[in-house]
Amino acid sequence: MNWAEDDVAAHTAPVGERELADPVTNPWGTTRNTGADLHSKRPERKYPEPEPLDEHGPARIVALCNQKGGVGKTTTTINLGAAIAEYGRRVLLVDFDPQGALSVGLGRLDPRELDLTVYNLLMQRDVTVEDVLLKTDVDGLDLIPSNIDLSAAEVQLVGEVAREQMLGRALRPVINDYDVVLIDCQPSLGLLTVNALTAADGVIVPLECEFFALRGVALLMDTIQKVQERLNEDLVIDGFLGTMYDPRTLHAREVLSTIIDGFGDKVYGTVINRTVRFPDATVAGEPITRFDSTSAGANAYRDLAKEVLARWPLSGHGA
């Protein structure tokens, strides 16, 4: 099977005359996509500083989703969330991965010690969202943590009535308290991720700028489409985010160029470069905007926050 045909062409704008790629024999098509034309494909655009808000809520709920592991979902949830909070928005982060990496990345060093997590919120009717909410050290940034308990939910939810709607229902009581809710999904397309997509208004898909970036994206698009058809017709793809980009390598430029060919304007102009400051910040349990506030990485997420807010539909959603 031609993966690019499957992954890109079937679900996105036409890719023109360029022969589609094959991951083994012909990864970038016959017209080698050198990425040399990146600048013309993606003219640089500056987005304004978001205006202060007089009132808060209702929140726009966004799922950070890609079933491929290690593409920057958690890093983007933490740092985009912290950057949006810097602009005076109230932000709630939902750790929806039993690995609990988001909880660790925000200073909850041992999530196993938490009494109440998103698992209890989903499975116990007497646990409310206020019971599981934690403040973080960043002003305006709250967290619903997770730990390994959540891995049982996937199986236990199967027997529930309206099993796909459990997360959305659980979050409803606090929607008016926040401007933005970001849900950090686990690397799978199972029932937990479907819950996140059902609860969400938008999806952000982080894509690591490396060889197999688009592998499996077709399956993700299929899942999103099914959720749109059956569970949540208002769901939209907010954008695709290039992560771990190394501007010095031809390879990364090629990949980014191919992503833009596939998804056009849906690709954020902001790209997150690869830097060791991100893992360092995770170890320190802080967003990069605090850990190394003036770093290029921190500023990249501020740029992304501006772009994300500027692109959202204007409907009282904290934009």
Ligand X SMILES: Nc1ncnc2c1ncn2[C@@H]1O[C@H](COP(=O)(O)OP(=O)(O)OP(=O)(O)O)[C@@H](O)[C@H]1O
Quick one: tokens of 28? 């970038």
Residues in 260-279 that interact with ligand X by CB under 6 A: 272, 274-275, 278-279
Q: What is the largest CA-CA distance in the chain?
A: 59
Q: What angle do CA 235, 239, 242 make, to 5 degrees?
A: 145
Alpha-carbon gap, residue 260 to 269, rounded angstroms: 10
Alpha-carbon gap, residue 11 to 265, rounded angstroms: 14
- Binding mask of the shown chain, residues 176 to 215, with x at each position contacting ligand X by CB under 6 A: -----------x----------------------------
287 lies in the binding site for ligand X (CB under 6 A): no
Size of interface with ligand X, in residues (CB under 6 A): 18
Give helix 217-230 / helix 191-199 axis angle, nearest 10°. 60
User: Of these partners, ligand X, Mg ion, none, which one is at the site of residue 6 (CB under 5 to 8 Å by kind)?
Assistant: none
> Collapsing DSSP states into helix, strand and coil, what is residue 120?
helix
Which of residues 4, 61, 75, 302 is near ligand X by CB under 6 A?
A: 75
283 Ramachandran zone, left/alpha/beta (phi>0; psi -120 to 50): alpha
Nearer to ligand X, 38 or 127 (CB): 38
* Minimum distance from residue 280 beta carbon to Mg ion (Å): 17
72 lies in the binding site for ligand X (CB under 6 A): yes
* Minimum distance from residue 77 beta carbon to ligand X (Å): 8
Nearer to ligand X, 5 or 280 (CB): 280
Which of residues 41, 51, 70, 313 is near ligand X by CB under 6 A?
A: 70
Alpha helices by DSSP H, listed for 37-124, are: 38-41, 73-86, 101-105, 118-123
- Binding mask of the shown chain, residues 49 to 78, with x at each position contacting Mg ion by CB under 5 A: ------------------------xx----
Binding site for Mg ion (CB under 5 A): 73-74, 101
